[in-house]
Amino acid sequence: MYSVKEPDLGTPPSQAQASVSLQVDGIPVTVPEGSSVMRAAALAGAKIPKLCATDSLEAFGSCRLCLVEIEGRRGTPASCTTTVAPGMQVRTQSPNLARLRRNVMELYISDHPLDCLTCPANGNCELQEVAGVVGLREVRYGMKGENHLDAPKDESNPYFSFDPSKCIVCSRCVRACEEVQGTFALTIQGRGFDSQVSAGGSDFMASECVSCGACVQACPTATLMEKSLIEHGQPDRVVDTTCAYCGVGCSFRAEVKGNQVVRMVPDKKGKANDGHSCVKGRFAWGYASHPDRVQKPMIRAKITDPWTEVSWEQAFAHAASEIRRIQAQYGRESVGGITSSRCTNEETWLVQKLVRAGFGNNNVDTCARVCHSPTGYGLKTTLGESAGTQDFESVEHADVVMVIGANPVEAHPVFASRLLHRLRQGAQLIVVDPRATELVNRPHAAAAHHLALRPGTNVALANALAHVIVTEGLVDEAFVAERCEAPAFERWRAFAAQPKNSPEAMEEVTGVPAAEVRAAARLYASARNGAIYYGLGVTEHSQGSTMVIAIANLAMATGNLGRKGVGVNPLRGQNNVQGSCDMGSFPHELPGYRHISDASVRASFEREWKVSLDPEPGLRIPNMFDAALHGSFKAIYVQGEDIAQSDPDLQHVHAALSAMECVIVHDLFLNETAKFAHIVLPGSSFLEKDGTFTNAERRINRVRKVMPPMTGLADWEVTLGLARALGLDWAYEHPSQIMDEIARLMPTFQGMSYDKLDRLHSVQWPCNEDAPEGTPTMHIQDFVRGKGLFVTTEYVPTEERTSSRFPLLLTTGRTLTQYNVGAQTRRTENQRWHGEDRLEIHPHDAEQRGVLEGQAVIVRSRKGETRLRAHLTERVQPGIVYTTFHHPESGANIITTDYSDWATNCPEYKVTAVQVSAGVQPLGAK
């Protein structure tokens, strides 16, 4: 059921440039060529009844309610499938039309339960509304004929019910599943009177449905209905906000009754998601009110002591006194903080400011350290800006898409739907991944090339692609000559052309047949528009930064930068990874990616903050752990990150946390890190605060408070309280004031304000005098650094090697229904889909080890061992095993190593040599 409060123009907008003028009920209106009469009428203010039409779906023309009369034309055509023409005179109301519409409604209602007063859609039902509009007063056929009123409900899905007795077979759900989501899970089964919506399996949960909810949103009746709405009733207000899960950053309308969220409806105005969502964003928000939420600040002297609840004031005073005590004893550099990519830009800004201005050092880092820090380094080096180059809409203009080390169908599902839509239109796909991800072979969109490389050999493969491009005359010479530094390019060209980088030479390293590499390189380089999208399968390697550089090299060499449909696009993991990096969360950079050694930049912050800043880089997260074990790092303030679960080589992490004298955890839940904490500050969910998130396309979206903070303070107010206890004179009364400060100090945010965000809905940075409404595509005329810089990318094998003791390579990834370490999604019904992490192993490797499907196995690495249940699948190659990491008990990071990216220390999660053997219960880490 679609939100009643959003206008629905009936059919999607036409993208045509030319316009057409016509009259609807005598009212002149001008619309783009190719628009439907229905849409033109809606824009003219004329309301045409409709049931099978909605503006998120292509016109279907089945319900026969939207009939109109057109001067000079015979009959009563459906306005949804009739396109406008110059000078057209349309009548939307006449006695004849009224009669026809009433007749149609009579037929619908003769097979529909008349339970409007007890129906959950009461007051927000399109069928009910149309019955009123057409003036239906009787059903001449009666209600006793053959009907579907006793059709059984399907309640299998935890989030929505399917009541076929209310279905009018308008096919909106089926079309939404196809056109919007791209899963094709639903169909109309049977013919004529027997036609019914079917999910294919015995019920929705047993089907291929991914619970994105597009069908629920499209349904014009109560057939597909959110269970939360059935429980709570219709909302009384709506708050526009932004999802707090992945880096797509979907816009939502939170429909609320009192302080109870009734449902989350994706916002059609959201440019990141265009009204679509996934199972997490739309449905998995119950964690926000989960009883596990920490309600009160707590302190304890030792981590073996029980917790004592205290007031906020006591907690702030205690935390401040501990920080000052430790600094007095061990030095100013002995304390630090970690910002959260789950928190808002404003909150992240305050934490890094607290460290820099309050702690007096640069020991601030963020969870991007363990995911996309190489993106920052690699793109800054080559292009001049630490961010992706496009907006998501750009993929709809791509002709060849290369997805490297990313699985958007699982991890960025709303972007994946856009990508799949483009692939169905004919764009070609290259997948570079050790595993046959969900993109590789779908019924409606298969990859032209799957380069199934060995984990850890990304750079070798990229060099092989580059070799083909430079030796087969595929370089865009004009682009390179105009846009890039010539000497560096010539060095790179000579490097790439070396025989050692040929696909044939690299085949032994990567395991990818040379002919396949050559074909993929030709396809990408020859495309009119070639776009690269990549994920953590690129960055979480010892050569993560090198690979990002290699990707930028490929894009520059082929001229695939600076316009729609191309680009280098990191798919960010968390909702605000981009933002947390933008806000100066790295220990070597002030906000806006400006090095701390830059005296003039530092001076601008010093003037604003009225403190003297440390000009030296601080510790990165892994360095903090090492320094803790060395005795020079003694206290940490961790906002919204579970480092005791999410970071690699956990025994090392746990030892480091145990060595600290003050660990302050600021989080929604008593997470794994809280086991090592001395102070816990309760966090607030995204529903409980104002602020902004910045998604993977540099889009700044507003987060708006839907309900008061459960604990009394939003996260930004908690950091504010801590800062004041430390003696800082901070006077923010609203996050908008923090954004104003950001705009004063960051040139790329210079034109940003909450007023502008309210007006434009979202803005992509840079937003300044040159681009007052933001920048969807970067590097159009020049690169941010001026000329693009090619950098040679020698392949250096990881030190993590297989051996006779550890003959398999473990790599990791995510699944659709869970999110990162699972702190949120494990506290929702999403557990029904993924209640445990499993180890994917090839049947050949399993047979050699006597491992059976579903059996518990021991996974040993050089760092430790854990137990997981096995899943035998040819999705992984022989020699490679794979697991997700959403459950703490599976202990994936017990076995990962401390190897990391050379430039940024981003951990090498994606390559761990392991042995797998048939094990016994219990599951979990040892």
Residues engaged in binding another protein (CB under 8 A):
333, 363, 491, 495, 542, 545-546, 587-588, 595, 597, 599, 602-603, 606-607, 610-619, 623, 626-627, 629-630, 632, 792, 794, 796, 799, 898, 900, 902-905
Which of 240, 270, 245 minimizes the C-alpha distance to 256? 240
- Could you tell me the smallest distance in angstroms from the CB atom of residue 498 to another protein? 11
Size of the chain, expressed as the number of residues it contains:
926
CB of residue 598 to another protein, shortest distance in Å? 11
Residue 200 Ramachandran class (φ > 0 left, ψ -120 to 50 alpha, else beta): left
Query: Is the torsion defined by CA of 907, 910, 916, 922 positive or negative?
Result: positive
Measured CA to CA, the distance from residue 229 to residue 227 in angstroms comes to 5
Q: Which is nearer to another protein, 222 or 538 (CB)?
A: 538
By C-alpha distance, which of 612, 606, 521 is closest to 558?
521
| Shortest spacing between CB 605 and another protein, in angstroms | 10
- How would DSSP label each residue in 560-597? --SSTT--EEE--SBTTHHHHHHTT-STTEETTTEETT
Dist. CA 114–CA 124, nearest whole Å = 15
Pairing of strands 880-884, 838-841: antiparallel
Instruction: State how far the Cα of 628 lies from the Cα of 897, in Å rounded to an integer.
Output: 18
Identity of the residue, 108 or 377, whose beta carbon is nearer to another protein in the bound complex: 377
Instruction: Give 27 or 629: the residue with its C-beta nearer to another protein.
Output: 629
Pick between residue 222 and residue 627 the one whose CB is nearest to another protein.
627
Shortest reach from residue 879's CB to another protein, in Å: 25
Nearer to another protein, 292 or 799 (CB): 799
Q: Which residues pair with 240 in a beta bridge?
A: 253
Nearer of residues 545 and 915 to another protein, judged by Cβ: 545
Instruction: Output 463 or 830, the one with its CB closest to another protein.
Output: 463
Environment class of 196 (CB within 10 Å of its CB; exposed 0-12, middle 13-18, buried 19+):
middle
**Closest distance to another protein from the beta carbon of 622 (Å):** 9
Q: What is the DSSP string of 358-421?
A: II-S--EEEGGGGTTHHHHHHHHHHTSSSS-SS-GGGGGG-SEEEEES--HHHHSHHHHHHHHH
* Gap between the Cα atoms of 299 and 825, Å rounded: 27
In whole angstroms, the minimum distance from the beta carbon of 386 to another protein comes to 14
**For tokens 């219709």, what's the residue?**
234
Nearer to another protein, 247 or 587 (CB): 587
Kind of pairing between the strands at 838-841 and 912-918: unpaired
- Please, which residues bridge with residue 857 across strands? 868, 918
Task: Decide whether 485 or 626 has the Cβ nearer to another protein.
Answer: 626
* Smallest gap from residue 554 Cβ to another protein (A): 17
Please name the helix (run of DSSP H) or strand (run of DSSP E) that holds residue 700, with its range, or none: strand 699-703
Closest contact distance (angstroms) between CB of 398 and another protein is 31
Q: Which helix (H) or strand (E) holds 321?
A: helix 312-330
Contact 677, 233 (CB under 8 A): no
In eight-state DSSP terms, residue 824 is: T
Between strands 196-198 and 187-189, the pairing is antiparallel
- Tokens read off for 157: 């899905």
Rounded to 5°, angle at Cα 775 from 422 and 280: 55
Q: What is the spatial distance between Cα 607 and Cα 610, in angstroms, rounded to a whole number?
A: 5
Closer residue to another protein (CB): 507 or 614: 614
Residue 798: CB minimum distance to another protein, A: 10
Least distance to another protein from the beta carbon of 19, Å?
54
The distance of closest approach from Cβ of residue 629 to another protein in the complex, given in angstroms and rounded to an integer, is 8
Nearer to another protein, 575 or 900 (CB): 900
- Residue 247 or 622 having the CB closest to another protein: 622
To another protein, the closest distance from the beta carbon of 623 in angstroms equals: 6
- Contact (Cβ atoms closer than 8 angstroms) between residue 249 and residue 242: yes
Cβ density class 296-324: b for 16+ within 10 Å, e for less: bbbbeeeeeeebeebebeebbbbbbebbb
Instruction: Give the residue with the Cβ less far from another protein, 364 or 465.
Output: 364
| CB distance 80 to 11 below 8 Å | yes
User: C-beta of 883: minimal distance to another protein in Å?
Assistant: 26
**Whether the Cβ atoms of residue 160 and residue 226 lie closer than 8 Å to each other:** yes
Closer residue to another protein, CB minimum distance, 505 or 629: 629
- Pairwise CA distance, residues 77 & 542, whole Å: 63
Q: Which is nearer to another protein, 241 or 373 (CB)?
A: 373
- CB 564 to another protein: min, Å: 33
Look at residues 78, 170, 76 and name the one whose alpha carbon lies nearest to residue 125: 170
| CB nearer to another protein: pick between 241 and 905 | 905
Convert 89-158 into a string of H (helix), E (strand) and C (coil).
Answer: EEECCCHHHHHHHHHHHHHHHCCCCCCHHHCCCCCCCHHHHHHHHCCCCCCCCCCCCCCCCCCCCECCCC
DSSP string, 590-631: ETTTEETT-HHHHHHHHHHHTSPPP-S----HHHHHHHHHHT
CB of 11 to another protein, least distance (A): 54
The torsion angles phi and psi of 24, rounded to 5 degrees, stand at -120, 115
Bridge partners, residue 692, by sequence: 702
Give 526 or 632: the residue with its C-beta nearer to another protein. Answer: 632
Residues in contact with 194: Cβ distance below 8 Å, sequence separation at least 6, in sequence order: none
In the bound state with another protein, the residue whose beta carbon lies nearer, of 703 and 903, is 903
Do 534 and 570 meet the contact criterion of CB atoms below 8 Å apart?
Answer: yes
Range list of H helices, 807-898 = 843-849, 892-895
Give bridge partners of residue 154 from the DSSP assignment.
162
| Residue 145, number of CB atoms within 10 A of its CB | 8
